[in-house]
Structure 1
Amino acid sequence: MQDANGSRFALVLGRQDWGQCRLDAAAWPGQPLLDTLWSDEAESEAAPLAFDAAQASIGLAQRVSRFVPAKGDVAPSTAQRLGAAADANGNIYAIVDGGSRITVRNAGTGRVSTFWPVSTPAPTPEPGAFAPAEPAEPPSPQHFAGLAVTRAHYLVVGVKPVSTPRSGFLVFDLLAGGPPLPLSWPLPWVMSPLDMAARPCGGLAVLDRIGHRVWLLNRRLGMEAVFPVSPLAAHTPPDFQASDGASGADGAGGAPHTPSATPHQPWFTLQTTALGGGHPVAIEVLPDGGVLVLDEAGADGFALVSLYVGGVLQAQASASDVLRVTPVQDRPGLSLRGFDFAFHADGPGSIQRKPPRLVLVSTEGNQAYVFELLWDAAQPHTLQLAAQAGYLPLKRYGGLQLVSRGLAQVEGDTGLLYASEANWLPLVAQRRPRHVPEAALLTVPFDGGDPGCVWHRVMLDACIPAGCRVQVASRWSDDAALLPDLPFTDEPTPLLRPNGSELPWLIEGPGATTDAARGHGTWELLLQGARGRWLQLRLTLQGNELSTPRITTLRAWRPRFSYLQHYLPASYREDAASADFLERFLANFEGQFTALEDRIATARALFDVRSAPADTLDWLAGWLGLVLDPALDEARRRQLIRHAMPLYQYRGTPQALRLAVQLALSPCVPDADFALPARSQEAPRGVRLVEGYLTRSLPPALLGETVVTPDDAPRVVTPGARWTLNEGAEGLHRRWRDWRIARGLAKGADTATRFSPLPPADVPAGTLAAWTAFCQITLGAVPTLASDLDTAWRRWVATGQDAGLGLPLPARWPQSNAAQQSAWRKFIAQLDPLLLRQLRRWQAAVARRHVRIGLYQRDTASTWPAFDVLPPPTELPSNPAALADWALFETRVAPIAARAHRFSVLLPISGPDTDADTVARQVDHARRVVALAKPAHTAFDVKPYWALLRIGQVRLGLDTLLGLGSREPDIAPALVLGSGHVGSARLGAKPAVPNDRILLEC
């Protein structure tokens, strides 16, 4: 890139460019940073400079602060490492008192109480009642070890054998309550649980201290084979055999072939290798089902992590990498032995996809260490624990296991809790960084292209906080071979540009945003005397150990455009000293003027959404007639402008509506989704549009809802076959008569009862409700048009403008009375618009069936002269053609029209992770977006995802949710009074035995 004056710049940007630079230190003479920072063969002493991938910047390396235990410091007790876990509500369960008791810390009150066993006083027998002659023996004491909460909301506690060889589990249902379910371990196997971890399938992985193995249980807590084999495989003969009875690949004779069965066992044995693996202390399960086992120490004295996939040892990694991020003076005596470990949970603020991270607690119990778990499934035996810089002290840690409380909420939070005496504290990295105080790097030589090139300026997109500085020195030559032997010349201290970057219309990133208070922005210095084809810079980064300068980009401009040469007379250049000063003095103005000229020359960048600055996006959208929602972030604004044309072409369609809402709410919308047309419901997740005509409604009676006499008793309603046109009008009359007799509304001799399209008067009581229920079940719909039109006609007759037609609605056309004909047409013309539209729909449906009025008159023996004056029948027609017209309209046309042009927008909002205010805000935002993008004649509503399954209305196959069923954590969160939603959460059930154990508040 060149500016308006033809100057260009040499660029250092990104990990690869900074990696080509060299450290100006005796420890690494002449070695590029790539060889010292990222090479597997790097020196044991950590480099003083580090590259931050999140900010794409280079700065002073951070070291791990070591908490040196004082004299008399007590290490955490392994006797307390018996098990701890948290449920979905945040209640923490722990095994204490040497394994004899389970406590719980209530998430609502913070109180710690005994969860199990619960002592209940013996009931006092009533006088005269039978009672045991001898008091019952107290139950034998149980020793607990190992505890976990499964995805299905079961608390599973391991029971170690004490007086008997039988071990097993106690299973507590945390949703329904009740006493625990004891599960005994089947003999002759013996199992002594040391640690347990929940599996993503809903089951458990159990670390067995006796058998030195790991047992796998499925979500029903049944044993799961590690090496599954079909029972038929061991007994099925091979498909091909030799004709002479021989078997084998070579055709040699011998006994018939018997395939050997694969071992079918519900465990895998832990392996011991040259790295170690003989002292397991903890276990974790990866999201893909892999099992991690922590050994206290490997062969090198550091904690060892082993990875098992499918019961097979894939790789092992030592925690010795912690030496790489530990200061040299703190390394003597450091031996990181593992006490416990857990997963580090990245919160919603994480800006990039990071590898899984483990938090490892040392046996000293004073601090924890964070490691990135690096493993490539395509390359076995490549497991690596990459130590991360950070200070995570533990205050008075006693030895209970780390507990995960969910995603991290703030920067530095691990999402874990640890037990500090009687309290549970969050494990958070303390803001006490320890950076290298100073380091210097040498850039690669920059080529100016011409001998005697005058190098102009150096620009640094950087963050230089208070107390830190960056010092620049330069050396130059026309011969690259002479450059390493030349001394460096110090340049002026860089200054922060008040107007940001010198590049025109630059889309500023994290390292280029001007923030003078924090030192963010573009820092500039004017090179004083650099003249030569080759230029090399030395950057010295200085900090106060608490903070560090961070440099994102370096730009070295050349050649300098000389105002002295181009715009001033030659007399100003006669004296060399004054000319040199004037040259540098005018270069300051040139830097300001050139920035303005560049913006003018590159104004075309404003019309490209990729290069337009953020503050010009509203102006650019105005060219397309777009009004950007202020709630949209910059990335989604650019995406909306870039794909405005396909959205305009498909505006009002389900695909465009779904995209508009998804663009407003989703943090990431792939560009491939804008390739329209596409199926609106192709994605299994995301925003869903449910059009009304796709749904089906069930009558309340089919759902067990009473329609006559409400009571609390459950009802079982068995629906019969619906009425069909083959039964005729008499069949419908007979069904209605039987329906009334079954409900005590008529007697068997009441044969005059006939079904009417008009709702009957509610005499006797319950007749109207029975008629409505009968229509719903027998017809599938409740006729409304005749009733509404009859009501309107009665009001018209009361005004005296009916010209003698009278009540009820006319069933035949008054052929000889012109006044009555005119009165009927006036009545239709003055109808309410909604009722008139329903009447026109009826007339249009009849017209489509009979085409011409003459054919209609012939088929129905009717005298109506035109379709536009035809009313619906108020009595059930006996003519087959007229009966079919009425039935098809009321059961097909009217229900479809009632749901036409209506749709629901379902938002992917999950109940457990979203509070009520967030839900309301997202629903309101989506409603505004849909109101702008929908067709004008449609009506809609916006609902969260939990409205997918509605009682009486469902799209089977599209909205059916599978998984753990009613125990799925995302479907059944705990209902919180005042903030929960009925239908989106679950109320806890009462236990069968009220005093069996304590129920926790939510």
Structure 2
Amino acid sequence: MDGDRQISTLTDPDQWARCAHDGTALMDGGGVSLAWEAPAAPPAGAGEPAGLAFDRWGRAYRSYPGAGRVDVLDDSGPSPSSPSSPSSPGHPGALLAPRGLAVDSAQRLYIAESCGGAVHVVDLWAERLLRRVPVRGRPLDVAALCDGAVVLLADPAGLVLLRGRRGPLHGPVLGGALHAAGWRPTRVAVRAGQPYLLWVAPCGDRAVVARPDGTDPLEVGPASDLAFGTDGLLTVAGHPGQPFRRYRQDGDGWAEIEPVQALGYDGGAVSAAPDGRTAFTTAQGLGWTAGPAARYVAGGRVIGYRLDSGAYRTRWGRIFLDACIPPGTDLRVGFLTSDEDAVPDPVPWTPAVQGRRVVRHPDLTPPLPSALRLARLGPGSGLFRRPTGREWPWAQIAPDDAFETYEAPVDAPPGRYLWVVLDLGGTARLTPRVRSLRVERPGHRLLAHLPRAFGRDEQDVDFLQRYLAPAEGLLHDLDGRAALRAVLLDPTATPQEALGWLAGLLGLALDRRWPLDARRALVAQAYDLYRIRGTLACLERILRIYLPVPVAAVENWRMRGLGGAVLGTTPDGPPAPAVGGAARATATLGRFAIGGVRPGQDGYTATAHRFTVLIAAPLEGERLEVVRSIVEQHKPAHTLAEICPLGAGMRIGRSLHVALTSMVGPGAGWGPAVVGHVRVGEDGVVGVPSAAARVGESAVMGAVRVG
């Protein structure tokens, strides 16, 4: 339709901060909502400080200072070995009050042993203790700092650094007004390579987050721990029974955003997971933050600054708002227009109640509307929810996006300048949210194609402009889609509803149980997969598209016996071990295999046309059914396949699959590894095993130790 149609927007957080606010707050990332206040929940008593950290694989490590150990937890539920309470005497460990935990970029776990005066460094790749670092003082907490860690000490208070095998090194010196006033640091966290401490007042009822030298302070009230997310979001945990407060740094200050619920928090520790979620310690092991814990005001108003169309007597078009309007809340929009370049009595600017941002160069902000005209503005008009989503052609909307697009015609006389006024109404627990705002300029021009007699009266023109707006908007959307119909042939850009149609052009039938990104990747790689269809390589690629984890298809004939040399044996030595049958002790080097053959049966005949799919991920329920469907549809013809989920990966002491994966140590009854609980001679392995060593023959310290 009209190719020269442009839009004016309010989307950036800086733009929303320049508007005048009355009872509203700025949202994190841009947008507005009703102002809120944190509920005054009485604390349930101070808990025992503990440690919580995550590695790059998403595994959680939780310390129990009273029990003297560190457990590995699964986010799907509590650890089987976790006690009913942190002070439970069951399963005692060998550590002396491990209070702080951290995992650095090299996947090393640091354990601050508070009563032991040392820090344990554990290599998570090799699952072994690297060293025990004694420190001068009592370690209270530890935080990862790139490929090292910073340790907070007490008695005397200070910071030390650990890097690789170096350390302890002197860290930043404590100082400033907080240190001089007797405030004591209790927790440490790292943001962008800079340590931040949680300073607690001598009376214990106040806390401040600041740097070691006392700069960049932030008053947070009573607090027990702090954590920085990957995006710089600061989460401060209060005492048990209180919500978590959240802050984001804006320039030289901090802006508070809505608090979140932390049901079951025991006062131990809080940490940010690799996926961006916030976890905390509970009596059962691990918990996650829930929805907002704020109470909202009943109503608020946002008054936008002046939008300029660039031409006088402009008849503005439609307004589009990306908003979330829960049931029981209300959102209305009002408009003021003018052709006057000057505003004699502008409304004074008022900042948002929460989420305040530093407005740079406020003198460059366009003027706010006239106070007299704003007082005469009637109630705003309602909004229409677009059933087709965004007004942009072929716009993709995330399935978990709670914001929908609403539209309304700009009900105002023609004018070069436009002011938008938003009136928000909500309840104590619910608030409408507006993320972005877009206004067309100018509106449609269908009146130019009608007889001039229809436009003699200004009231008739306004009525026809609004009356024809819905029909013209539909035609405009169809015209925009037609102009960009080439997007339908792009697997990465085509809308979700058109993805099945695009796959049909390629001869594919998509499984709706697949994630959306995996379906797009499958369509994008369809022609490459057709070239190797019916091979194990094709099957592996399809499984990696559905499950972005390591996948290997192992043909069973490769395991048919010891067809080569056995490393570590001699021709006149004892025979080589064989699993399931006999074997030769000598053959061509480079053709080593494990498995053996059954007596009286050819190894190739017993294992031909069979293969096993090894998947390094836990599979159950729908995911397992989808994997079975993929293997059945895309495996080579006339073959038999077996699926072997490896869970989190190969682990010593756990039998994974007969004849394909090895197992070292006992099978049944093998418990999960607990840092600080393993004892030499009970269930530990000391040293590195030598080649061709056998169980029951040699037990040399530094070579092989079984027991």
TM-score band w.r.t. shorter chain: 0.5 to 0.7
Letter of the aligned partner of 1:110 in structure 2? Answer: S
1:276 alignment partner in structure 2: 178
Counterpart CA distance in 2 for 1:199 and 1:24 is 42
**Alpha-carbon distance in structure 2 between the residues aligned to 1:374 and 1:202:** 25
Cα distance change, pair 786–699 in 1 and its aligned pair in 2 (3 A) = closer
Question: Where does the alignment leave 5 or more consecutive residues of structure 2 unmatched?
Answer: 68-77, 122-130, 344-366, 684-707
Q: CA deviation at 1:306?
A: 6.5
Aligned residue identity for 1:509? I
Match of 1:439 among 301, 323, 329: 301
Cross-structure match for 2:353: none
CA distance in 2, matches of 1:944, 1:288: 38
**1:512 CA drift (Å):** 11
Give the count of matched residue pairs.
610
- CA distance in structure 2 between the partners assigned to 1:786 and 1:391 by the alignment: 66
Task: Report if the CA contact (8 A) 2:561-2:583 is conserved.
Answer: no
Aligned equivalents of 1:786 and 1:269: distance in 2? Answer: 67
Q: What is the aligned partner in structure 2 of residue 496 from structure 1? A: 384
Equivalent in the alignment of 2:410: 527
Q: Supply the distance in 2 between the matched residues of 1:288 and 1:105 (Cα, whole angstroms).
A: 32
Quote the residue 2:701 is aligned against: none
| Aligned mates of 2:660, 2:39 — CA distance in 1 | 59
Relative distance call for 1:284 and 1:477 in structure 2 (3 A) is: closer
* Cα-to-partner distance string for 1:590-614 (whole Å, 9 max, x where unaligned): 4455555655666554344455332
1:750 aligns to what? none
Write the deviation string for residues 562-591 of structure 1: whole angstroms up to 9, x where unpaired.
555535x55555665456534543444444
Give the equivalent residue in structure 1 for 2:40: 67
The Cα offsets for residues 308-362 of structure 1, whole Å up to 9 and x where unpaired, read as xxxxx79964233x5xxxxxxxxxxxxx365x31547x8xxxxxx5336443437
In 2 relative to 1, CA 146–204 (structure 1 residues): closer, same or farther, beyond 3 Å? farther
- 3-state SS of paired residue (2:529): helix
Q: Match of 1:660, SS?
A: helix
In the alignment, what sits opposite 2:64?
93
Query: 1:673-688, aligned counterparts within 5 Å?
Result: 686-688=550-552
> Partner letter of residue 630 of structure 2?
V
- Contact 1:82/1:145 (<8 A) preserved: no
> Aligned partners of 1:620 and 1:942: how far apart in 2?
31
Cα-to-partner distance string for 1:595-652 (whole Å, 9 max, x where unaligned):
5565566655434445533212111111111221212233333333334333334545
1:721 is matched with: 571
- Picking from 421, 431, 438, the partner of 1:538 is 421
State the superposition RMSD in angstroms. Answer: 6.2
Distance 1:572 1:213 in 2: 82
Q: Specify the alignment match of 1:615 in structure 2.
A: 497
Aligned to 2:694: none
Q: 268, 280, 288: which one pairs with 1:402?
A: 268
Aligned identity (percent) is 22
Map 1:389-428 to 2 at 5 A.
Answer: 389-390=258-259, 402-403=268-269, 414-417=278-281, 428=289
Q: For residues 645 and 943 of structure 1, do their structure 2 counterparts lie closer, same or farther at Cα, with a shift above 3 Å needed? A: same
Question: What's the counterpart of residue 355 of structure 1?
Answer: 232
1:619 is paired with a residue of what secondary structure? helix
Q: Give TM-score, length-normalised by structure 1.
A: 0.48
Where relative contact order (Cα < 8 A, 6+ residues apart) is larger, the structure is 2
Following TM superposition, by how much is the alpha carbon of 1:525 offset from its aligned partner in structure 2, in angstroms?
A: 1.9
Distance in 2 (CA, whole Å) between partners of 1:777 and 1:192 is 58
8 Å Cα contact 1:21/1:444 also seen in 2: no
Letter of the structure 2 residue corresponding to residue 10 of structure 1: I
Query: Which residue number in structure 2 is paired with residue 164 of structure 1?
Result: none
Question: Paired residue for 2:199?
Answer: 295
Q: Kindly tell me: are residues 287 and 934 of structure 1, through their superposed partners in 2, closer, same or farther at Cα, counting changes over 3 Å?
A: farther
Residue of structure 2 in register with 1:318 after alignment: 217
Greater alpha carbon shift after TM alignment, 625-634 vs 603-612: 603-612
CA distance in 1, matches of 2:465, 2:396: 31
Structure 1: 5+ residue stretches without partners? 27-46, 97-103, 119-142, 161-166, 172-182, 227-265, 308-312, 323-335, 347-352, 376-381, 667-684, 704-717, 723-734, 740-768, 789-889, 967-971, 995-1002
Given the superposition, is the C-alpha separation of residues 433 and 564 from structure 1 closer, same or farther in structure 2, using an over 3 Å criterion?
A: same
For 1:93, give the aligned amino acid.
Answer: Y
On the 8 A contact 1:512/1:521 being kept in 2, the answer is no
SS at 2:178 equivalent: coil
Q: Deviations over 1:74-112 (max 9, x none)?
A: 974xxx85767899999973549xxxxxxx998677378
C-alpha deviations, 1:384-415, integer Å up to 9, x for none?
Answer: 876443055899x9xx8514699699x9x842
Superposition TM-score, scaled by structure 2 size: 0.64
Question: Structure 1, residues 403-432: CA drift from partner, whole Å, max 9, x if none?
Answer: 4699699x9x8422367xxx9995856743
Give 1:50's match in structure 2, choosing from 26, 29, 35. Answer: 26
Q: Per-residue CA shift, 1:448-492, capped at 9, x if unaligned?
A: 64x433223222232223343333332334454569676355585
Q: 1:19-418 alignment to 2 at 5 Å? A: 19=15, 22-24=18-20, 48-53=24-29, 58-60=31-33, 62-65=35-38, 67=40, 76=46, 93-95=64-66, 110=84, 115=89, 147=99, 158-159=114-115, 193=138, 195-197=140-142, 207-213=152-158, 225-226=166-167, 266=168, 268=170, 271-277=173-179, 279-284=183-188, 293-297=197-201, 303-305=207-209, 317-320=216-219, 322=220, 336=221, 338=223, 340-343=224-227, 354-355=231-232, 357-361=234-238, 367=242, 369-371=244-246, 387-390=256-259, 402-403=268-269, 414-417=278-281
Residue 507 of structure 1 and its aligned partner are, at CA, apart by 2.5
Alignment of 1:905-924 (within 5 A): 905-909=613-617, 914=618, 918-919=619-620, 921-924=622-625
Q: Is the 8 A contact 1:158 1:170 kept in 2?
A: no
Shift of 1:899: 7.2
**C-alpha distance after superposition, 1:886-931 (max 9, x if no partner):** xxxx9xxx86x9878765443231xxxx5xxx44643442343344
1:659 alignment partner, SS class: helix
2:110·2:142 contact (CA, 8 Å) conserved in 1? no
Say yes or no: does 1:552 pair with 2:451: no
> Does 1:640 find its partner at 2:522?
yes
SS of alignment partner, residue 225 of structure 2: strand
| Distance in 1 separating the partners of 2:491 and 2:482 | 18
Matched letter for residue 642 of structure 1: A
**Cα distance in 2 for residues equivalent to 1:155 and 1:110:** 22
- Matched residue type, 1:942: I
Q: Which has the higher strand share?
A: 2
User: 2 CA distance for matches of 1:502 and 1:105?
Assistant: 45
Q: Do 1:418 and 1:427's aligned partners in 2 also have CA atoms closer than 8 Å?
A: no
Question: Is the 8 Å Cα contact of residues 562 and 596 (structure 2) preserved in structure 1?
Answer: no
Instruction: Name the structure 2 match of 1:8.
Output: 5
Q: 1:273 and 1:928, CA in 2 relative to 1: closer, same or farther beyond 3 A?
A: same
Q: Return the alpha-carbon distance in structure 2 between the equivalents of residues 484 and 386 of structure 1.
A: 24
1:944 aligns with 2:645: yes
Question: Which secondary structure state, in structure 2, belongs to the residue aligned with residue 417 of structure 1?
Answer: strand
Displacement after TM superposition at 1:198 (Å): 8.5
Asked if 1 retains the 8 angstrom alpha-carbon contact of 2:7 and 2:439, the reply is: yes
In structure 2, the CA distance between the partners of 1:371 and 1:212, relative to structure 1 (3 Å rule), is: same
- Structure whose residues are more often helix by fraction: 1
Distance in structure 2 (CA, Å) of the matches to 1:618 and 1:572: 47
Could you tell me how far 1:933 is from its partner in structure 2?
3.9
Q: Partners in 1 of 2:133 and 2:459 — Cα distance?
A: 95
Secondary structure of the equivalent of 1:276?
A: helix
- Residue in structure 2 matching 1:476, options 306, 326, 337: 337
8 Å CA contact 1:193–1:206 kept in 2: the answer is no
Conserved 8 A contact 2:301-2:423? yes
Residues 59 and 548 in structure 1, CA contact (< 8 A), matched pair in contact too:
no
Deviations 1:684-735 (A, max 9, x none): x7334556687685499989xxxxxxxxxxxxxx95439xxxxxxxxxxxx9
Name the SS of the counterpart of 2:155 in structure 1. Answer: coil
Deviation, structure 1 residue 148:
5.9
The change in CA–CA distance for 1:150 and 1:490 in structure 2 (over 3 A counts) is closer
Which protein is bigger by CA-based radius of gyration? 1
CA distance 1:923–1:371, shift in 2 (3 Å): same
